[in-house]
Amino acid sequence: MKIFVTGGAGYIGSHTLVRLLSAGHEICVFDNFSNSSPEALARVKQLTNRDFALVEGDIRDASALTRALVEFGADAAVHFAGLKAVGESSEKPLLYYENNVSGSAHLLAAMDAAGCRRIVFSSSATVYGEAQCLPFDEDHPIAPTNPYGRTKAMVEGMIRDWSAATPDASAVLLRYFNPVGAHESGRIGEDPQGIPNNLMPYIAQVAIGRRERLSIFGDDYDTRDGTGERDYIHVVDLADAHLAALDYTGRAAGCEAINVGTGKGITVKELVAAYERACGHSIAYEITPRRPGDVAISFAATGKARELLGWEAALNVDAMCASSWLWQSTNAEGYGETA
């Protein structure tokens, strides 16, 4: 199948490319490298021994996007491109609406121009907001608490409307929980710019000595050990979920939102302990006040993914930490330094 991959050079995109190429698909990546490096794509080629097309471009540029998609003749799109920093989205909301919402509208219009009717979209568990009940199932009310989450909810609605208006269209909205880890080779991984916002890359940078200690944001939540509990999902499992979702778009028309998680919560302290096992030394941390906007517990109901996609997570927290550590310890500066 010919698959057009926006944001393919990013963290989740690069891991998904490995799986798509290994499965024999023909790929065109469309990325502006605003939060990624061409080096990630070079490594994907090395890992798979497969080549693919690359168009350096911005999804806000409707004509460049349409040209690329029509020329490639895509059968399906996987749409990763977007900005994802929750804090930044409150400071620069219009940038997020323009990039994530307008960019996605341009993609759907470009798909119409190319006669492409299948899409898998990177949504987020953040669309649920505060938990009314746990685990989060796909029918949980949508009430995001920040501009980033609102852009994801808006794009979900837009894709739903597009699919209803487009004969034979098929869309899967994958609501990722907390993606972590790296490819088992350690050649590709998560390479955040500046100070990491998320827990796992922060722990990894403390483990390698780039940062002195982790701040644990609160130990007075109503959880097993008082620290926040999340559903961490191995990025390689997540990549496989995209293949299963693409497959599904070939079998069923319409639009489905589907959670991608393990269904199990892990606390901050439990993740730190697992990382210590992986790297073989202790991770320094201090307890600091809660981070505004954080919820105590988030984890996924996984039945719909199993039922519709035949997919479930296979890799555990030790595999997540071991792969993260292999990536971090062999690429201390991420893609900035070739290992």
* Contacting residue, 66, 89, 104, 124, with ligand NAD by CB under 6 A: 124
Is there binding between residue 261 and ligand NAD (CB under 6 A)? no
Q: Is 86 in the site for ligand UFG (CB under 6 A)?
A: yes
Half-sphere exposure in the Cβ direction for 272 (13 Å, CA): 19
Q: How far apart are CA 292 and CA 215, in angstroms?
A: 14
| Span interacting with ligand UFG, options 42-50, 119-127, 185-193, 240-248, rule CB under 6 A | 119-127
Query: Is 270 among the residues that bind ligand UFG (CB under 6 A)?
Result: no
Closer residue to ligand UFG in complex, CB, 4/176: 176
50 phi/psi in degrees, rounded to 5: -130, 150
**Using the rule CB under 6 A, is 291 a contact of ligand UFG?**
yes
**CA–CA dist 3, 10 (Å, integer):** 16
Query: 60 or 291, CB closer to ligand NAD?
Result: 60
- CB nearest ligand NAD: which residue? 10
Q: How far is the CB of 306 from ligand UFG (least distance, A)?
A: 19
What single letter denotes the amino acid at residue 124? S
Phi first, then psi, for residue 333 (nearest 5°) are -105, 25
Please give the residues from 182 up to 241 whose contact with ligand NAD meets the rule CB under 6 A. none
Closest CB 299 distance from ligand UFG, rounded Å:
10
Contact (CB, 8 A) for 151 and 101: yes
Between strands 26-31 and 2-6, the pairing is parallel
Count the site residues for ligand NAD by CB under 6 A: 27
Active site residues: 148
Asked if residue 33 binds ligand NAD (CB under 6 A), the reply is yes
Which phi and psi angles does 238 have, rounded to 5°? -60, -40
Q: What is the DSSP secondary-structure string of 283-310?
A: --EEEEPPPTT--SB--B--HHIIIII-
Residues of this chain, 165-184, that bind ligand UFG according to CB under 6 A: 176-178
Query: What 3-state DSSP class applies to 20?
Result: helix
Tell me the closest approach of the beta carbon of residue 10 to ligand NAD, in angstroms: 2
**From 31-39, 134-142, 195-203, 329-337, span contacting ligand UFG (CB under 6 A):** 195-203
Q: Does residue 63 interact with ligand NAD by CB under 6 A?
A: no
Of these, 4, 27, 28, 32, which contacts ligand NAD (CB under 6 A)? 32
Is position 48 an interface residue for ligand UFG (rule: CB under 6 A)? no
Q: Is 267 in the site for ligand NAD (CB under 6 A)?
A: no
Helix (H) or strand (E) holding 329: helix 317-330
> Counting contacts by CB under 6 A, is residue 262 touching ligand UFG?
no
Pick the piece of the chain touching ligand NAD (CB under 6 A) from 27-35, 130-138, 251-259, 322-330.
27-35
Give which of ligand NAD, ligand UFG, none residue 12 binds (C-beta under 5 to 8 Å, depending on kind).
ligand NAD
H/E stretch holding 254: strand 254-260
Closest-CB residue for ligand UFG? Answer: 228
- As a dihedral over the C-alpha atoms of residue 162, residue 164, residue 167, residue 168, rounded to 10 degrees, the angle is 90
Using left for φ > 0, alpha for ψ between -120 and 50, and beta otherwise, residue 161 falls in: alpha
How many other CB atoms are there within 10 angstroms of residue 235's CB atom? 27
Chain-centre distance of CA 59, in angstroms? Answer: 17
DSSP character for 133?
Answer: S
Binding site residues, ligand NAD, CB under 6 A: 6-7, 9-13, 31-36, 58-60, 80-84, 99, 103, 122, 124, 176, 179
